[in-house]
Structure 1
Amino acid sequence: MEKIAKDVGDIQSRLLDHRPFLQGEIRYFVREFEDKRGFRECRLLENLNKMVAETNKQVLPNCTEGMQDNLCNILTRLEAANHMTQRIQQREIEAWNNTRLQESMEKRREDWEKFLKEQAHLKGEVDEEHVKAVGRLSTQYSEMKKDLGKFSHF
């Protein structure tokens, strides 16, 4: 029974205990990285660090200064363009309002002319009625005058 337990323990350690395998892989990786490559990655990282430091000291201030100059110029141009578009928009609004005003004035003029024609027509009707009424009254008064003449001879 002891042999079986020992064999099961050996099988379990081989199947489930990965430490010896991982230690071998880690040693291989370290040897591959450090020995065979000869700290090449470290030198590359140091060179990159130097380039970043130079960029921060020299290139970045130049770029920032150039960017500030260009941004001021662009901002000035943008403000000018914005002002021009506002003026164009204002002109279009005024033109639109003027056309609306002209259309409105034209409509009012047409309405006024229609009103004047209607008033002239009504005036003609009133004048015609007046002439008829004057005619009727004239005939009525002339008849009354004749009748009065008849009664005054008595």
Structure 2
Amino acid sequence: MEKIVKDVGDIQSRLIDHRPVLQGEIRYFLREFEEKRAFRECRLLEKLNKMISDTNDHDLPQCTDSMHDKLCDALTRFEAANHMTQRIQQRELAAEQSTHLQVFAERQRQDWETFLKEQSRLKEEVDEEHAKAVGRLSAQYDEMKKDLAKYSSF
């Protein structure tokens, strides 16, 4: 009986217990992954480190110098533009104080008022035409409803 139990236990361990096979596969996977992949990852990290150090040593100072030069140039241009706009504003202020400009402004104001009156008149005409058209359409639709009512009663 003891031999039968032992044989049954061996058969069970071979058929049901997959731990030894799985452990072997796991060990194989880990060995392959750690040995082959680790070297690739190290090379990749070394490349990235070299690229970053090259960027920090060469490209970054070059970019900052270029940016500084461009910003200084832009600042001088903005200062020149600001000076020009101040001169233009002073000229406009002097021109506004002249009587000639006041006469011109008054004439433009009168022209603007005339234009607004004309636009108001045209708006009223358009509104009248619209109201007439709405009345005609309403009457036409009322007739159509009556005709429809006649034919639907048959």
Q: Tell me the TM-score range normalised by the shorter chain.
A: 0.3 to 0.5
TM-score when normalising by structure 2: 0.42
> TM-score when scaled to structure 1?
0.42
